Structure 1
């Protein structure tokens, strides 16, 4: 019989910054981790707990899968649901945000004239999903162009105008998709106000909170009334890949008829008709294919680490936001540039900073050369500097998006600034050699 060992006493509280990185994370000693937002990472304690679970699964496969796993899965959902202000049976776990988004949009039924509204800043796989739906269903996508920096009020105005434009054409906005925090540029999005606008116009909403849970406070999320909410757990609450939470309020669970791929717990309509909707919804997601489910089961351990070692969720979020803000300002000062922000200072209320590089579009030549130069800087930062400083050519300038996290400190951002200055100088030389 499987008996899960009691969790050991956690390590003592550790100061944020370099000491946190060295004591609790598995980064190479020379590596500078600035890109937490893309893939996340998790502490040694969580890695050890996952390995323990994997060993249990290997020792007694059926016992683990059939007896231990269902109980541990409910515990994991019960741990993450309060962070979303949700009931445990409104939250299920899937491998990633793309899976969650596909689950939502491919369960909806579309008619001629239906439209999915999204912004030009949409995550790429979400865009591709909408485009694929245009080929297989009656729905059409409608993109709202955004160029940052922009004020939140203008975002809301553009959204309302798009809804009215669609309705004027005799069509209907079936669903609106938008972020909590954008992928690039990495800025806070006015998602709370967007939800109010959706309710005003009777539009269903799907919030991409990939950069949400563990990044910004979401205790109020369910109370704001989104129709669907997606949030990666493997990024900002530090569980192994892949693990994402899909929130579907009780009122909408009847819309989710199947997982993607379809799980063995799917039932045809005639068989599920007499079954409680929530029971069917939760059961659907218990066993979807044959994958390693242990990332889901690490949520409680990750939250325990954040509580006992880091001082709690608020402390983790506050430090990540503050070190990103202060680190970005330090970099801008060193490089003689600026941080991407709007007049009302709403963009930087997150754990990202976007800093302009000291390289101009005129120096880069044509836009194609500028894009290639940005890619060159990003690649060189990996190959030659043992880091990753994600750089893009955006709105006529070069920007880097760096993540704030508990294992970083001011000295790391100072190093990033000097490294980017050096890379910009090298880029100028490369461009000159090519006669740009």
Structure 2
């Protein structure tokens, strides 16, 4: 495997590697019978990165204390510098957390809400479920100090409609004598998987003095983000393990220097936390070696004993994508093209359409959303939605050895498919036929027999 990877690196320097099944078979770990059409949920890694991760793990086992206390922080800084360069942000503004949900939790659990109870959190209808529940928890835990409000989205629509809905929600909050303290929104939403105008919403937040928390769970390695420093959100987190070919779980967490004082603690709180000194209580010691780094960076360097080898692979994954895949611009361009063309193939097989707007901004990502020919109202009226959903997913996995994210959005059933360097358009053509057969089975009531 090492020889194959080395040979691929050598050839890639003179000619771009061909994306598709040959890359899948030589560089990835998939079962030969499995087609991964759902890269957007969990991502995956090439053999080369898997091998490097194991080397880091072996070093940690070989000399636990020297590696964890001294070598690991130096390697971590190299990965931080690599991802900072990719995003065009200062290295001291980014750290790593385990996933985007952890980053969102870290922000929401650190924000101090005003005692007058007038603060609100704005979020959009397409918010990721785990983040929505985090908002609910924060509202519940703070007992009347903060409330939340959902901004509706009516897809398909131009980006301007989303911005207008946001402005309308802000105006409604002000009219009620309250204030929007923080807004939470995506780079690319999960279900449906569409590009969100996060740049414009960030600018609107700045205009209104609202803290912007950008959930880029679907982001780095998939869409253009080298303008992050220019967009300048107040908080930003993006999973590296989804689209950057980094092992699970790893996310870059960006907080500009101006806001680092707002992040008092990691989640969970660990040795980097420095409490306000109280009478009769001295300062608690940090048992880890001093490093001269700022409070923010130092706090996230060690958050309990867990396997952080994925963080160290960020630098390696970025280099692999440059040396083997031809760089970020090529990867982004090819994946967006594949998703758009593949979505049309699936929609053609199903006799439906792809979710997009006239400008094509919704489809500017590596995921495509295709409507399923299912009687949504009838299924809902009969209370059979959960049974249908379970039947579709189980059939995909058990009979066809694949997975496609299936969901109901605004009264219609949709399938979300992911483009990736190890796929080609034949996979989407095949998926269209598979989904057609399954939907026909649903209409025939096959899901009732499997219940």
CA distance in structure 1 between the partners assigned to 2:386 and 2:160 by the alignment:
30
> How far apart are 1:19 and its partner, in Å?
0.9
CA distance in structure 1 between the partners assigned to 2:44 and 2:447 by the alignment:
39
Residue by residue over 1:317-356, the C-alpha shift from the partner in whole angstroms, topping out at 9 and shown as x without a partner, is 1111111111001111122211111122211011110011
**Residue in structure 2 matched with residue 223 of structure 1 by the alignment:** 230
Pair 1:96-2:119 in alignment: no
> 2:391·2:447 contact (CA, 8 Å) conserved in 1?
no
Alpha-carbon spacing, 1:53–1:8, altered in 2? closer, same or farther (3 Å): farther
Alpha-carbon spacing, 1:427–1:292, altered in 2? closer, same or farther (3 Å): same
Residue among 399, 406, 419 paired with 2:434: 419
Alpha-carbon spacing, 1:195–1:432, altered in 2? closer, same or farther (3 Å): closer
**Residue in structure 1 matched with residue 273 of structure 2 by the alignment:** 266
**Residue in structure 1 matched with residue 208 of structure 2 by the alignment:** 201
Pair 1:243-2:258 in alignment: no
CA distance in structure 2 between the partners assigned to 1:52 and 1:221 by the alignment:
32
> How far apart are 1:276 and its partner, in Å?
12
> Map of 1:281-430 to 2, 5 A cutoff?
281-361=296-376, 364=379, 366=381, 368-430=383-445
CA distance in structure 2 between the partners assigned to 1:253 and 1:155 by the alignment:
29
TM-score (norm 1): 0.94
> 1:250·1:278 contact (CA, 8 Å) conserved in 2?
no
Pair 1:255-2:258 in alignment: no
**Residue in structure 1 matched with residue 287 of structure 2 by the alignment:** none
Misfit runs of 4+, over 4 Å: 275-278, 431-434
> Secondary structure in 2 aligned to 1:358?
coil
Alpha-carbon spacing, 1:433–1:169, altered in 2? closer, same or farther (3 Å): closer
> Secondary structure in 1 aligned to 2:238?
strand
> 1:375·1:392 contact (CA, 8 Å) conserved in 2?
no
> 1:151·1:344 contact (CA, 8 Å) conserved in 2?
yes
Pair 1:121-2:126 in alignment: yes
> Secondary structure in 2 aligned to 1:408?
coil
> Secondary structure in 2 aligned to 1:269?
coil
CA distance in structure 2 between the partners assigned to 1:417 and 1:123 by the alignment:
26
C-alpha RMSD of the superposition = 2.0
CA distance in structure 2 between the partners assigned to 1:173 and 1:286 by the alignment:
32
> How far apart are 1:365 and its partner, in Å?
6.0
Alpha-carbon spacing, 1:77–1:424, altered in 2? closer, same or farther (3 Å): same
Residue by residue over 1:126-172, the C-alpha shift from the partner in whole angstroms, topping out at 9 and shown as x without a partner, is 11111111111111111112232222111111100111111111111
> Secondary structure in 2 aligned to 1:292?
coil
Alpha-carbon spacing, 1:367–1:161, altered in 2? closer, same or farther (3 Å): farther
Pair 1:28-2:48 in alignment: no
| Range that drifts further, 373-382 or 254-263 | 373-382
Alpha-carbon spacing, 1:63–1:276, altered in 2? closer, same or farther (3 Å): closer
Alpha-carbon spacing, 1:311–1:350, altered in 2? closer, same or farther (3 Å): same
CA distance in structure 1 between the partners assigned to 2:413 and 2:264 by the alignment:
45
**Residue in structure 1 matched with residue 280 of structure 2 by the alignment:** none
CA distance in structure 2 between the partners assigned to 1:194 and 1:371 by the alignment:
34
> Secondary structure in 1 aligned to 2:372?
strand
Pair 1:178-2:185 in alignment: yes
> 1:364·1:431 contact (CA, 8 Å) conserved in 2?
no
